[in-house]
Amino acid sequence: MTRANHAGAGAGLRAGSQPAAGAQRIVHGLGVLAASLALGCATPSEAGEGSSSEGSTTRDTVTTVTPTTSGSGATATGSDDSAGSTVSGPAESGDGSSTGDAPAADACAAYDEFAQALAGDPDDAARDDRQDEFLRTMWRSDEGLPIRCDGRMIVLFADDGAGAWSVTGDFADWDPRAHPLQPLVEGYGLLVAELAIEEPLAPSLYKLVRDGTEYVADPWARRFGWDEFGEYSLTSARADASHLERYPAFDDALASLQPRRVVVYVPAGASSRSALPVLYMHDGQNLFAPDAPYGGWQVGAAIDAAIEGGAMPPALVVAIDNTSDRFDEYGPSVDDLGQGPVGGRADEYADFLVDGVIPFVDARYPTAADRASRAVLGSSMGGLVSLYIAWRHPEVFGAAGSMSGTLEWGQIGADNDRVLDLYEATPPDDVWIYLDSGGNPPCPGGSDNYCVTVEMRDALVGLGWTEGERLAWLHAPGATHDEAAWAARMPGFLALLGPQWAN
């Protein structure tokens, strides 16, 4: 069976999309963290009470799989019966994988201990707590999920109670019922499939399948990407292609902010490189997914093209999801949009980025780990907070970009400092700044923050920035304030940023 034959079946069911009505069923009987991951949410939501069960652990029939595939998405012929056929495949090292806290063998030991303890827990509340702790451990582990070690591959999934689930992929010739998912504990909403694999297993694409017809990417997989068939999951990284890595409910140095998902774009061959520059971006939900809310930036495709075309060196992109407190976190000062005071928590958000996200990324990936190799970029409120973060932490960031930035913030409905006022009072040292907008004059007025962007440009020139050196400014006449417009300008931004990193 080819991928082309199966992929369209699950086009309407993808991890990370907005849950449909009734999707809360997925979280029944699961922990808070598991519930948020099952729904593709950035932050935990309350899970429903599950039915209590003392059941024992159960697993599916363990089958042995080794695909004849390079991990590129092409499938090979081969049988996959109940006993599992063994076919030798090419050795791959998983080039581009992240490195982290715990070796892979420890992940198998942790899973075995977790499975045994879960079966002995007295009720679902205890299981929920145990599961949340286990999931946090797994996403901080070297490889994340699925667990792969000691000739085993373990796939976990939250049961939605509306069909029979299985796992398939390159390693099973995309047989939709190849490896059934079964309850880890009878009556509790956590499913597992354990496959015996012959190491080294080539990096493989895989998906989950409901009732043999509905294909969906594994929302708990560390590594993933998109192709013409939608989102797919990866057993490990491919050496010849970029991919994404997710860290759900990230909470390092969070203080009183909400946990959120962090996604890392990893360029091809990352593990064979050193001193990679890093671009940090806000509103992560809108950056990579083709079906992202409000449209997507298509950042993965843009940076792939920029690297392949030589416009910039290979680099990481770290996408940080927003939360329901977006205006508070992205607003440096307090403003009023007509519904009361909002904003003023950008210091907390900046500290979360500088003290939490950046140390995590530098420890786990082959980064340059210096200010000259770090940039921060966003649009609208994300553009505002990018300029603010670079102003507050010029020792951390050497470049900042604002697309259609809400630079009037502070004086929309209040009388507080704007980011422009902060720059004029204390100009940051040696920060390269990119400004753009759509819209048109005349000023005051205009649209897409055109006028205030021009005002910011002029202020920077007055402070000593020179266009073509430490300052880049772009006007896209008539462009609207949306993701499609920012996606269209992303290649131009990367072409301007690339030389800053090449020097």
Alpha helices for 240-366 (secondary structure H):
299-308, 326-330, 346-352, 358-364
pLDDT at res. 9: 31
DSSP result, 22-46: TGGGGGTT--HHHHHHHTT-SS--P
352 and 215 in a single domain? The answer is: no
Q: Is residue 370 in some structural domain?
A: yes
Closest CA to 278 of 358, 161, 384: 358
| β-strands 214-216, 190-197 pairing | unpaired
CATH number at 316 reads 3.40.50.1820
Q: What is the pLDDT of residues 214-263, one digit of tens each?
A: 999 999 999 999 999 999 999 998 889 999 999 999 999 999 999 999 99
Q: Which of 21-30, 222-231, 426-435 has the least mean pLDDT?
A: 21-30
The length of the chain is 503
218 and 255 in a single domain? The answer is: no
Give the domain extent around 467: 251-502
Q: Is residue 243 in some structural domain?
A: no
Q: In the predicted model, is pLDDT for residue 345 greater than 80? A: yes
Give the span between the Cα atoms of 415 and 370, in whole angstroms: 36
| Boundary-marking domain end, from 202, 222, 242 | 222
Give the span between the Cα atoms of 58 and 238, in whole angstroms: 32
21 and 123 in a single domain? The answer is: yes
With bands split at pLDDT 50, 70 and 90, how would you rate the model's confidence at 185? very high
157 and 34 in a single domain? The answer is: yes
Cα 232 from chain centroid? 14
How many domains would you assign to the chain? Answer: 2
Which residues lie below 8 Å from residue 449, measured CB to CB, with a gap of 6+? 380, 404, 405, 406, 407, 408, 437, 439, 481
268 and 417 in a single domain? The answer is: yes
Q: Is residue 458 in some structural domain?
A: yes
450, two tokens: 């055109």
The helix/strand count (H/E) of the chain reads as 12, 21
Mean pLDDT of the chain: 83
202 and 257 in a single domain? The answer is: no
Give the span between the Cα atoms of 410 and 423, in whole angstroms: 14
pTM of the model: 0.82
153 and 43 in a single domain? The answer is: yes
Which residues lie below 8 Å from residue 290, measured CB to CB, with a gap of 6+? 226, 296, 298
Peptide bond into 146 cis (omega under 30): yes
Q: In the predicted model, is pLDDT for residue 130 greater than 60? A: yes
Q: Is residue 441 in some structural domain?
A: yes
337 and 212 in a single domain? The answer is: no
Q: What is the pLDDT of residues 30-60, one digit of tens each?
A: 454 554 444 343 333 222 222 232 333 332 3
Assess contact for 359 and 250: CB atoms under 8 A: no
With bands split at pLDDT 50, 70 and 90, how would you rate the model's confidence at 503? low
Closest CA to 190 of 15, 55, 63, 34: 34
Neighbouring-strand partners of residue 281:
319, 377
Angle at 211 between CA 210 and CA 212, to 5 degrees: 90
Give the span between the Cα atoms of 294 and 118, in whole angstroms: 40
Secondary structure class of 478 (helix, strand, coil): coil
200 and 266 in a single domain? The answer is: no
Give the span between the Cα atoms of 354 and 385, in whole angstroms: 13
67, two tokens: 């695909």
With bands split at pLDDT 50, 70 and 90, how would you rate the model's confidence at 85? very low
Q: In the predicted model, is pLDDT for residue 157 greater than 70? A: yes
208 and 275 in a single domain? The answer is: no
Average of pLDDT values for 418-428? Answer: 98
Q: Phi, psi (5° rounding) for residue 24?
A: -60, -15
Q: Is residue 236 in some structural domain?
A: no
| β-strands 205-210, 165-169 pairing | antiparallel
372, two tokens: 């000259």
| Residue 436 CA neighbour count, 13 Å, CB half | 27
Q: Is residue 242 in some structural domain?
A: no
Give the span between the Cα atoms of 283 and 385, in whole angstroms: 11
Average of pLDDT values for 147-163? Answer: 91
Give the span between the Cα atoms of 238 and 278, in whole angstroms: 20
Give the span between the Cα atoms of 168 and 17, in whole angstroms: 21
Average of pLDDT values for 423-442? Answer: 97
Q: Phi, psi (5° rounding) for residue 126?
A: -65, -40
Q: In the predicted model, is pLDDT for residue 28 greater than 70? A: no
76 and 13 in a single domain? The answer is: yes
Give the span between the Cα atoms of 451 and 435, in whole angstroms: 12
| Boundary-marking domain end, from 183, 205, 222 | 222
Let me know if 474 is exposed, middle or buried by CB neighbors in 10 A (0-12, 13-18, 19+): middle
Closest CA to 487 of 285, 328, 300, 212: 300
Assess contact for 363 and 397: CB atoms under 8 A: no
Q: Which of 9-13, 241-245, 298-302 has the least mean pLDDT?
A: 9-13
Q: In the predicted model, is pLDDT for residue 292 greater than 60? A: yes
Report which DSSP code applies to 57.
B
Between the CA of residue 280 and those of 36, 87, 283, 316, what are the distances in Å? 24, 42, 10, 8
Give the span between the Cα atoms of 250 and 356, in whole angstroms: 9
Q: Is residue 227 in some structural domain?
A: no
Q: Is residue 233 in some structural domain?
A: no
pLDDT at res. 369: 96
Report which DSSP code applies to 142.
S
Assess contact for 75 and 69: CB atoms under 8 A: yes
279 and 171 in a single domain? The answer is: no
